Structure formats: structure tokens, C-alpha cells
Amino acid sequence: MMSMKKKKIIESKKLLDLFDRKTIEWHKVEPNELEEIETIDDAILKLLLRNFQLWHTEDEARRKDVPDSCIADCKRKIDKLNQSRQDIIEKCDELIILIWPWVSENSDLPMNTETPGSVIDRLSVASLKMFHMKEQTLRTDVGSLHIAKCNDKLNALGNQRKDLALAFDQLIEDLCEHRKKLKVYRQFKMYNDPSLNPAMYGVKRGA
């Protein structure tokens, strides 16, 4: 990935290759926590890691053969991971603006409904979905109807990811050529903030 002016920072093919490769790798070997984000490449890889961790924690949170305390622990972990995920999405957009400052300079340019960081997030989730849907097509403990349905879903996921990748490349091209502008949009997740979540500050006040 290149940071020179008028060179594409990110291309969907490289993104998808990375996401697919790391998804396969991390299902074989437990991933290590990544260091601090310094580059757009760091942010992209860490975003995939957060979604990887979220996916499997969400699976665990739906178990019915474990104590409720285990589910509560999962839910708290999900909140923490999701907050980190949102922060990394914003960091992706910040880094793009840092590399291409002109994308935030002209208020008259049109904007996209999603930022590049948001689309990168969706593409990483798409890779995870396809990996796990493919797993379903390889099961030997289910009937042929289950396999057929999952194959249909896998094909649909592939087509949807292809469309999203094309849209992403067009967005990056528009930003590169100064046809669209980019702003960082803060999510301000209120449920994670003890000063903003009534269920948390209310308890402390004896409500």
C-alpha cells in the first residue's frame, strides 16, 4: 500500500487477499494482539482482528450449556471489542485524511454515505462470513439440504462482497482524484460510558 500523492492508498483486491489469508491463518494459530496503530496497514489488520475476536465471542455468548456468569463475561468482552472496533474504523479515516489532506479541505464536494473505514470494516466481516459459511458446506454431520442452502448463501455472499469491493475502489478513486470529500464521523457509543449510560450512573446514584 502506498502513501504517495495520487497513488491509491488501498485497493480492494489487496484487502480481500489479506483478509482471506489472515482469517484462514488465525483459525489455525491463535492470533497475537497487535501493537499500536501507526500506519493504515496496521489499522486495517487490527480491524480484522477485532472482528475476528468479536465473531467468536458472539458465538460463545449464545451457548446454553454454560453458567450465566460466562455469558455475562462474553457480553462485557463484546462491548469492549466493539468499542475498539469503532475506534479503529475512525482511525482508518483519520489516517487517510493525514495521507491525503485534500480530501477534507473542500466543503463543496459531495460525500459518500459510508467512509472508507466503514467499508473496510464491512469487507473484513464479509471475509469472516464467507469462511464460516464455507465451513458449513464441508460438514459431514448434516443433510444435503443444509449443504445446498449454505452453498447458495456462500455464492450470494461472494457476489455481495464483489459489489462492495467495486464500490470501495470507486470511493478511493473519487477521494484520490478530489471528486469527493471525507470527514471522520465519531460514533460516541454511549452504552460504554459510565457517565452517559443511565443504567450505570443510575445505579451509582442509588436509583
**pLDDT tens readout for residues 148-167:** 999 999 999 999 999 999 99
Q: Give first-to-last CA distance, the chain, whole Å.
A: 52
In the chain, domain spans: 12-184
Judged against a pLDDT cut of 80, whether residue 8 lies above it is answered with no
Judged against a pLDDT cut of 50, whether residue 4 lies above it is answered with no
Q: How confident is the model at residue 3 (pLDDT cuts 50, 70, 90)?
A: very low
Judged against a pLDDT cut of 70, whether residue 205 lies above it is answered with no
Angle of helix 116-137 relative to helix 144-176, nearest 10 degrees, comes to 160
The alpha carbon of 129 is separated from its chain's Cα centroid by a whole number of angstroms, namely 12
Q: Residue 25's pLDDT is what?
A: 98
Out of 11-15, 57-61, 201-205, least confident range: 201-205
Out of 39-43, 107-111, 112-116, 145-149, least confident range: 107-111
Query: In Å, what is the CA distance from 79 to each residue of 47, 85, 94, 120, 194?
Result: 15, 10, 23, 20, 13
Q: How confident is the model at residue 194 (pLDDT cuts 50, 70, 90)?
A: confident
Cα–Cα distance between 120 and 59 in angstroms, integer? 22
What mean pLDDT is reported for the chain?
A: 91
Query: Are the C-beta atoms of residues 43 and 91 closer than 8 Å to each other?
Result: yes
